[in-house]
């Protein structure tokens, strides 16, 4: 579905990403992990066609992503950014309705199928009863769910989520991850999600990509990515992946290392 070929991205000649090659197959749930500043957000923007690589290319369904018209791309790919800017004065419904933009007709009026998509997205994140509330009056978690509903209303085949659980309390983190997992399993939406919590990454994603200082250090199953050596190299921590019998797996962190080498 998605392929990056030797993607390099520079800002004022400074490399942010270097030689990143990867593929994402339809139906996958890919987790993107790595320390702050590794380039996760930048990589997701490039993969979503929201920014252009300095060198290399990104193909979506076999086509260079930059050649896909914005409207067609927005029907296929949605992106939930890390910092959802609070659009002052908009209602929750207005925010979610923005997800219908790539489907609107010439005059931009909402049609019956748009309203259906909006309502079903609001229902999926349990915000139907808050549709008329102002977005800036919501809690962080509710707001996050509103922006996820906007992405759902877009009815994408591929959904990018940039640290969607970052501002949520533990209960809402679990609920949100379950919602995303259901989207993937039940509706077949392909997911690429940046996430800091390594244990949740293991429990939620079918495959992991590990970024360190702009390079892809490893990709594959959690066993291949969360080795003590790679945890040291990427994050500067001592840790390991444990799979206790009859319990959910977790990444156990036991300390830091003095030098990061990744």
- For 151-172, give one letter per residue: b (16+ CB within 10 A) or e: bbbbbbbbbbbbbbbebbeeeb
Choose the one of ligand ADP, Mg ion, none that binds residue 4, judging by a C-beta under 5 to 8 angstroms depending on kind.
none
Residue 42 contacts ligand ADP per CB under 6 A:
yes
Query: At closest approach, how far in Å is the CB of 38 from Mg ion?
Result: 8
Number of residues lying near ligand ADP (CB under 6 A): 10
Q: Which residue is nearest to Mg ion (CB)?
A: 41
How near is the Cβ of 225 to Mg ion at its closest, in Å?
Answer: 18
42's contact among Mg ion, ligand ADP, none, with CB below 5 to 8 A by partner kind, is ligand ADP
**One symbol per residue from 2 to 41: x for binding ligand ADP (CB under 6 A), - otherwise; what is it?**
---------x----x-----------------x-xxxxxx
Cα dihedral 211→228→221→206 (10° resolution): -70
Residue 39 binding partner per list Mg ion, ligand ADP, none, with a CB distance cut-off of 5 to 8 Å that depends on partner kind: ligand ADP
Which of 11, 112 has the CB closer to ligand ADP?
A: 11
Minimum distance, C-beta of residue 181 to Mg ion, in the bound complex (Å): 21
Residues that bind Mg ion (CB under 5 A): 40-41
Residue 176 C-beta: closest distance to ligand ADP, Å: 19
Binding site for ligand ADP (CB under 6 A): 11, 16, 34, 36-42
């Amino acid at each position: 579905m998605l392929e990056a070929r030797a993607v390099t991205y520079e800002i004022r000649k400074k490399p942010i990403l270097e030689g990143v090659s990867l593929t994402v197959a339809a139906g996958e749930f890919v987790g993107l992990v790595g320390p702050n500043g590794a380039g996760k957000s930048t990589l997701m923007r490039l993969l979503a066609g929201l920014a252009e690589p300095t060198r290399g290319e990104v193909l979506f369904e076999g086509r260079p992503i930059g050649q896909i018209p914005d409207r067609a791309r927005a029907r296929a790919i949605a992106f939930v950014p890390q910092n959802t800017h609070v659009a002052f004065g908009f209602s929750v419904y207005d925010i979610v309705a923005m997800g219908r933009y790539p489907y609107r007709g010439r005059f931009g009026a909402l049609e019956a199928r748009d309203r259906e998509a909006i309502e079903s997205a609001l229902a999926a994140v349990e915000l139907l009863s808050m549709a008329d509330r102002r977005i800036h009056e919501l809690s962080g978690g509710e707001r996050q769910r509103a922006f996820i509903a906007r992405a759902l209303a877009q009815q994408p085949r591929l959904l990018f989520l940039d640290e969607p659980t970052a501002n949520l309390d533990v209960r809402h983190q679990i609920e949100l991850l379950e919602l995303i997992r259901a989207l993937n399993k039940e509706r077949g939406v392909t997911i690429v999600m940046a996430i800091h919590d390594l244990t949740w990454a293991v429990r939620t994603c079918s495959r992991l990509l590990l970024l360190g200082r702009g390079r892809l250090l490893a990709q594959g199953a959690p066993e291949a990515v969360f080795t003590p050596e790679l945890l040291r190299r990427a994050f500067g921590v001592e840790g390991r992946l444990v799979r206790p019998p009859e319990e959910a797996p977790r990444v156990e962190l036991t300390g830091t290392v003095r030098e990061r080498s990744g």
